[in-house]
Amino acid sequence: MDATRKLNNERGISLVYVAIALTALVGMAALVIDVGYFYLVRGQLQNAADSAALAGVSGLKGIGGVNPYSNESTARNRAQYFAQQNKAEGSTVMLDLNTGNSLAGDIVIGCWNKATNSMDTGCFRPNSVEVIARRSSDAGAGVAGPTPVGTMFGKIFNFDTVNIRTIAVAQRPPKPTIPLAHCLPICPDEPGHLTLPKTFHFKAPGGNDTYSAEEVMGWTEFSATSKASDLGPNSVIDKLLTQKQEIPLDVCNKVVYTNTGIGSIQLRNDLLGQYNSGKVSGSWKVILPIYSDCPAVNQATEKLNTLVRYAEAEVTGIDTNASDPTITISSVTCMDCATANFLSLTPQLVK
Higher pLDDT, 124 or 188: 188
pLDDT the model gives residue 170: 96
Tell me: do 29 and 121 sit in the same domain: yes
Against a cut of 0.85, is the pTM above it? no
Lowest mean pLDDT among 14-28, 55-69, 214-228: 14-28
pLDDT the model gives residue 107: 94
Mean pLDDT (whole number) for 13-28? 56
Range of the domain at 39: 12-171
Tell me: do 230 and 326 sit in the same domain: yes
| Contact status, residue 274 vs residue 178, Cβ threshold 8 Å | yes
In degrees, rounded to 5, the angle at the alpha carbon of residue 229 between the alpha carbons of residues 226 and 230 is: 95
DSSP secondary structure, 269-332, as one string: HHHHHHHHHH-BTTBEEEEEEEESSPPPSSTT--EEEEEEEEEEEEEEEEE-SSSS-EEEEEEE
Tell me: do 193 and 305 sit in the same domain: yes
Tell me: do 186 and 167 sit in the same domain: no
Tell me: do 329 and 199 sit in the same domain: yes
pLDDT mean across residues, the chain: 81
How far, in whole angstroms, is CA 43 from its chain's centroid?
A: 24
- Decide: helix, strand or coil at residue 111: strand
- Which of the four pLDDT bands, split at 50, 70 and 90, describes residue 320? confident
DSSP secondary structure, 240-254, as one string: HHTTSSPPPSS-TTS
Q: Is residue 236 in a domain?
A: yes
Distance, in Å, from the CA atom of 149 to the CA atom of 165, rounded to the nearest integer, reads 10
Tell me: do 290 and 194 sit in the same domain: yes
Higher pLDDT, 348 or 338: 348
Point out the domain boundary residue: 110, 136, 171: 171
Tell me: do 149 and 75 sit in the same domain: yes
Q: Is residue 44 in a domain?
A: yes
Tell me: do 191 and 135 sit in the same domain: no
* Span 26-83, pLDDT tens digits: 555 566 666 777 888 889 999 999 999 999 999 888 776 655 555 688 999 999 999 9
The secondary structure of the chain in percent helix, strand, coil, rounded to multiples of 5, reads: 30, 25, 45
Q: Is residue 6 in a domain?
A: no
φ/ψ of residue 111, rounded to 5 = -120, 120
Mean pLDDT (whole number) for 10-16? 54
Mean pLDDT (whole number) for 262-286? 88
Distance, in Å, from the CA atom of 206 to the CA atom of 313, rounded to the nearest integer, reads 28
Tell me: do 74 and 130 sit in the same domain: yes
Does residue 101 carry a pLDDT above 80?
yes
In degrees, rounded to 5, the angle at the alpha carbon of residue 272 between the alpha carbons of residues 224 and 312 is: 60
Distance, in Å, from the CA atom of 18 to the CA atom of 283, rounded to the nearest integer, reads 76
How many domains in the chain? 2
pLDDT the model gives residue 51: 96
Tell me: do 213 and 282 sit in the same domain: yes
Distance, in Å, from the CA atom of 112 to the CA atom of 124, rounded to the nearest integer, reads 12
Tell me: do 202 and 54 sit in the same domain: no
pLDDT the model gives residue 6: 47
* Span 296-316, pLDDT tens digits: 666 557 788 899 999 999 999
Tell me: do 266 and 324 sit in the same domain: yes
pLDDT the model gives residue 48: 94
Cα→Cα distances 89→78, 151, 230, 292, Å:
22, 11, 61, 59
Point out the domain boundary residue: 154, 171, 188: 171
Q: Is residue 215 in a domain?
A: yes
Point out the domain boundary residue: 135, 152, 171: 171
Q: Is residue 351 in a domain?
A: no
DSSP state letter for 156: G
Distance, in Å, from the CA atom of 272 to the CA atom of 322, rounded to the nearest integer, reads 13
Q: Is residue 151 in a domain?
A: yes
Q: Is residue 2 in a domain?
A: no
Q: Is residue 296 in a domain?
A: yes
In percent, how much of the chain has pLDDT > 70? Answer: 78
